[in-house]
Structure 1
Amino acid sequence: MDYKAIAQQTAQEVFSYYQDISGWKVIKSSDTFICRIITQSFAMGSISSRDFIDLVYMKHYEGNVDIISSNSVDFPGYSPTSNYIRGYNHSCGYVCTP
């Protein structure tokens, strides 16, 4: 399998999403938001479905550095349910530089 070709094709596809502005509109311009992520069960059900409630924050720094960070939080708008096991993420994110 040619992993390098797959990686290059994936990068090109994601970049094309960035370039294609047709049909997209800005609905929120705040950097900070609460995100609920739901995962499906897997390994033949031995690992249950989970949901994660994360605070996501984006910040631009000098030197053309962007950071997208997140951390799990408790948020009243997304109370735990019996459908999912509540998962928690530690501080994580991406540092994007030229």
Structure 2
Amino acid sequence: MDYTEIARSAADKLLSYREDQAGWKQCKKSGEVAVYWRPSSEFTGNLYKGEGIVAGNPEDVWHCLKPEPGGLRVKWDSNVDDFQLLETITEDMSVCRTVTPSAALGIIAPRDFVDVVLIKRYEDGSIASNATNVEHESCPPQRHFVRGFNHSCGCFCVPVPGEPEKTQVLSFFQTDLSGYLPKSVVESFFPYSMTQFYSNLRKAVKALHV
């Protein structure tokens, strides 16, 4: 499996999602956070986009978001129970397993996801995590977890011009949760969990300076 090619393709798709403003429909707004959706071009579900401003410079926000074992993400993100490194490909590319807890009052059972993750920095100062599902010989499907599949997903930490202590965070999720879940449950879960994601991220960034 060519992890490099798969990861770069995912990064290209994420960048196109960031730049393409067509077809998005708002499905939830909470304070300064807005969540949009449109049909995914990668699987039969939806692609979700979150937009929000976080009080903190891009490096601090990225420090909280960075997908790494033992990092801050597991501590503040209620949708992440564990994050495991399966293989390092390059300094900025790795294969990882993410474990998520049960959700929606137990209707959604614990899941795990195996992804190749690529970290990229752009000329405008943005920092991005880009991920998509892969297979890895060290991590076949496991008992007690439903194996889910992330399609091209990730987050951008974007500098706000003239506001060095503010960061625009763009998040993209298009996840096949697998299992036998009612469509209504899936479509209500993602917008809710994404607004919670921003709320928890803001608290985590604030805590860095307390």
Which range, TM-score by smaller chain? 0.5 to 0.7
| Alignment counterpart, residue 94 of structure 1, candidates 155, 177, 180 | 155
Q: Per-residue deviation at 1:35? A: 1.6
Give the letter aligned to residue 122 of structure 2: Y
1:55 aligns with 2:140: no
Counterpart in 2 of 1:46? 107
Q: Which has the higher contact order (CA 8 A, sep 6+)?
A: 2
Task: Tell me the C-alpha RMSD between the 2 structures.
Answer: 3.0
Unaligned runs of 5+ in 1: 5-9, 19-27
TM-score by length of 1: 0.64
The Cα of 1:79 is off from its aligned counterpart by: 0.7
Please give the alpha-carbon distance, in whole angstroms, between the structure 1 residues aligned to 2:128 and 2:107.
35
Gaps of 5+ in 2: 1-30, 33-53, 64-87, 160-210
More displaced stretch, 59-68 vs 48-57: 59-68
Q: Which residue of 1 aligns with 2:129?
A: 68
Q: How does 1:24-35 map to 2 (within 5 A)?
A: 30-35=91-96
Query: Counterpart of 1:21?
Result: none
Alpha-carbon distance in 2 for matches of 1:58, 1:78? 22
1:36-90 alpha-carbon deviations (Å, 9 max, x no partner)? 1111223443221110111110112223232211111111111101221100011
Q: Bigger radius of gyration, 1 or 2? A: 1
**Partner deviation per Cα, 1:5-62 (whole Å, 9 max, x = no partner):** xxxxx856xx4xx5xxxxxxxxx88110112111122344322111011111011222
Aligned residues: 82
